[in-house]
Copies of this chain bind each other. A is one copy, B any other.
Amino acid sequence: MSPKITTELLKQLRQAMKSPKYVQEPVQAYIVPSGDAHQSEYIAPCDCRRAFISGFDGSAGTAIVTEQHAAMWTDGRYFLQAAHQMDNNWTLMKMGLKDTPTQEDWLVSVLPEGSKVGVDPFIIPADQWKRMSKALKSAGHDLVPVKENLIDTIWADCPQRPCKPLITLDLSYTGVSWRDKILALRSKMAERKVLWFVVTALDEVAWLFNLRGSDVEYNPVFFAYAIIGMNTIRLFIDGDRVMDPAVREHLQLDSTLEPEFKIQVVPYGSILTELQAVGTGLSPREKVWLSDKASYALTEAVPKAYRYLTPYTPICIAKAVKNASETDGMRRAHIKDAVALCELFNWLEKEVPKGTVTEIIAADKAEEFRSQQKDFVELSFATISSTGPNGAIIHYKPVPETNRTLSMNEIYLLDSGAQYKDGTTDVTRTMHFGTPSAYEKECFTYVLKGHIAVSAAIFPNGTKGHLLDSFARSALWDCGLDYLHGTGHGVGSFLNVHEGPCGISYKTFADEPLEAGMIVSDEPGYYEDGSFGIRIENVVLVIPAETKYNFKNRGSLTFEPLTLVPIQTKMIDVNLLTQKECNWVNDYHQKCREVIGAELERQGRHEALQWLIRETEPLKVQ
């Protein structure tokens, strides 16, 4: 992978930063965040501005360009990838390391006195704006909104914003109608005494209306906003997508409805003016509810006195707790996904020794097997198919320049998942097709111990996920090892594979307490730069736990693995496991054998079934 040459582009951007065509006064720095106007993690090609200007196309990163410098902040998952993809014009700022300055501190250290720092007000979340603006102001600088996106002004062949057809989801998938979701939302609004709610996140719009789209790869969402009043519903969406009879029927656009459920369809681009109109019509004590991660532009559209901002919206919190229809769907999706992976791993075991399987071929084969399953829609993220040293690039995606051939001598790490109409999957398995070294087995076993420590943890109702993160690391820490990413993220139900408001991470972000019905991933790892990567990931469902006692009647929770794919026993050093951990592995494999075995049988996939039976043989303590 050779870095993108950005000398010319940076020159053009620096010209735009001074051009009266775009800025009233020159800006001495310009911030290019990752996100789109909805603060999405996964974005459409037209929104990949940070990748365009820098070459670094990982999912998280912020670029800042000054007259002299160009710097990129990203986290531990992407240190290697960013270093590979960016040319010498760029300085990599490794977030999470002790000596890495924050963006604000760095700006203050490099800017001349009284500088202006520009940013697109639609792309920067309001909470980030506030923090950065305050820090800059206290050092004598100013953060200023630049209406025209400066990257767009130099991006000659910028792709069009997508506008693809919608998918309607009936009650058998969603469990709750959009009308009942609106009702529940309005009752939360009444509780907080707000009159309006602005839906800005794409997955929240999709969830609220029981619609899905395909405007963004991997995330079944579509570009839209909504403003929900106590008696009105406005959906901001472009194109003839709402002319589809199925969509009209689903949204009851042509029915005679109580007025409070009548959906007004409004052009996507009119959100700012419509929201400004809502804002000016307010009287005291009439509030507008927005996420504090909504864009600065939309937040500013509502006068400060009328704003009600929260870190998580009631939709985000309701969406995280899956109902019975959703968990049933997630279970079905994970069974199908496991069938595909049994097929894949059986196939790899036969093909790898021939020396013809590359990372890309393996990833394609995984997609092929998944696509054979019922209700398959697309992948849920770019498959991480990595062997040997590529495995240490935490969010690696094979491309022709880096594509390695799987061999009998290297560890292979596959982190992959799919969108099915009934659920979203995300699973990582790490395998060896020959004989792993003692050291590889040792590291794998520490990671496994961490995975089990989280999966089998019992904890009180109301515990926040970040309190479980250290369980995943303890075995690694004991030997001086660690991994530089969080342990788990929320997973959507046929929605984004990463969703809030819960997770398992050492970062003390404001995660919401775990409750039964939430779904998160459990994915500790260990990575050795230049050598190998190990990660073991299941998607797990939060369920009530039975305990011997029940302190203060609080009740306890634990996890049930939804992912049912064998964990390669060849990689385990059984001597490092406790009896309890051994039993966990054996019980897990017994369940894989029963549940996935039955489905493989039903689908007539006999060879994969034999593979499954071999791979789920109980561990024997030596």
Contact, CB under 8 Å: B549 / A462:
no
Residues of chain B with a CB closer than 8 A to A482's CB: 460, 551-552, 554
Question: Is A547 positioned at the interface, with any CB of B under 8 Å from its CB?
Answer: yes
Interface residues of A in 421-471 (CB under 8 A from B): 457-460, 462, 466-471
Contact, CB under 8 Å: B467 / A506:
yes
Among B460, B469, B480, contact of A477 (Cβ-Cβ < 8 Å): B460
Question: Is A12 positioned at the interface, with any CB of B under 8 Å from its CB?
Answer: no
Kindly provide the distance from the CB of A136 to the nearest chain B CB, expressed in whole angstroms.
14
Interface residues on A, range: 35 or more
Residues A477 and B462 in contact in the complex (CB < 8 Å), given A285-B140, A468-B470:
no
Question: Is A98 positioned at the interface, with any CB of B under 8 Å from its CB?
Answer: yes
Interface residues of A in 254-308 (CB under 8 A from B): 284-285, 308
Q: Tell me, in angstroms, the Cα distance from A471 to B477 when the chains sit together.
A: 13
Contact, CB under 8 Å: A474 / B477:
no
Q: Tell me, in angstroms, the Cα distance from A506 to B513 when the chains sit together.
A: 12
Question: Is A548 positioned at the interface, with any CB of B under 8 Å from its CB?
Answer: yes
Question: Is A603 positioned at the interface, with any CB of B under 8 Å from its CB?
Answer: no
- How many copies the complex holds: the figure is 2
Kindly provide the distance from the CB of A200 to the nearest chain B CB, expressed in whole angstroms.
21
Question: Is A401 positioned at the interface, with any CB of B under 8 Å from its CB?
Answer: no
Q: Tell me, in angstroms, the Cα distance from A98 to B512 when the chains sit together.
A: 12
Contact, CB under 8 Å: A98 / B462:
yes
How would residues 222 to 261 of chain A score, 1 for a CB under 8 Å from any chain B CB and 0 otherwise?
A: 0000000000000000000000000000000000000000
Contact, CB under 8 Å: A478 / B547:
yes
Residues of chain B with a CB closer than 8 A to A462's CB: 98
Question: Is A156 positioned at the interface, with any CB of B under 8 Å from its CB?
Answer: no
Residues of chain B with a CB closer than 8 A to A468's CB: 470
Contact, CB under 8 Å: B458 / A478:
yes
Question: Is A481 positioned at the interface, with any CB of B under 8 Å from its CB?
Answer: yes
Most buried by B among A506, A550, A551: A551
Among B140, B508, B549, contact of A479 (Cβ-Cβ < 8 Å): B549
Kindly provide the distance from the CB of A604 to the nearest chain B CB, expressed in whole angstroms.
43
Q: Tell me, in angstroms, the Cα distance from A182 to B210 when the chains sit together.
A: 64
Contact, CB under 8 Å: B459 / A477:
yes
Residues A550 and B471 in contact in the complex (CB < 8 Å), given A98-B462, A285-B140:
no
Residues of chain B with a CB closer than 8 A to A140's CB: 284-285
Question: Is A556 positioned at the interface, with any CB of B under 8 Å from its CB?
Answer: yes
List the 3 closest A-B pairs by CB distance, nearest first. A480-B547, A480-B549, A508-B508
27 residue pairs of the A-B complex, CB under 8 angstroms, read A98-B462, A140-B284, A140-B285, A457-B474, A457-B477, A458-B477, A458-B478, A458-B480, A459-B470, A460-B477, A466-B508, A467-B470, A470-B470, A471-B474, A476-B551, A477-B556, A478-B547, A479-B547, A479-B548, A479-B549, A480-B545, A480-B547, A480-B550, A481-B551, A482-B554, A508-B508, A578-B578
Given A138-B308, A458-B478, A480-B551, output 9 extra A-B contacts at Cβ < 8 Å: A458-B480, A460-B477, A460-B482, A466-B508, A467-B470, A471-B474, A476-B551, A479-B547, A480-B556
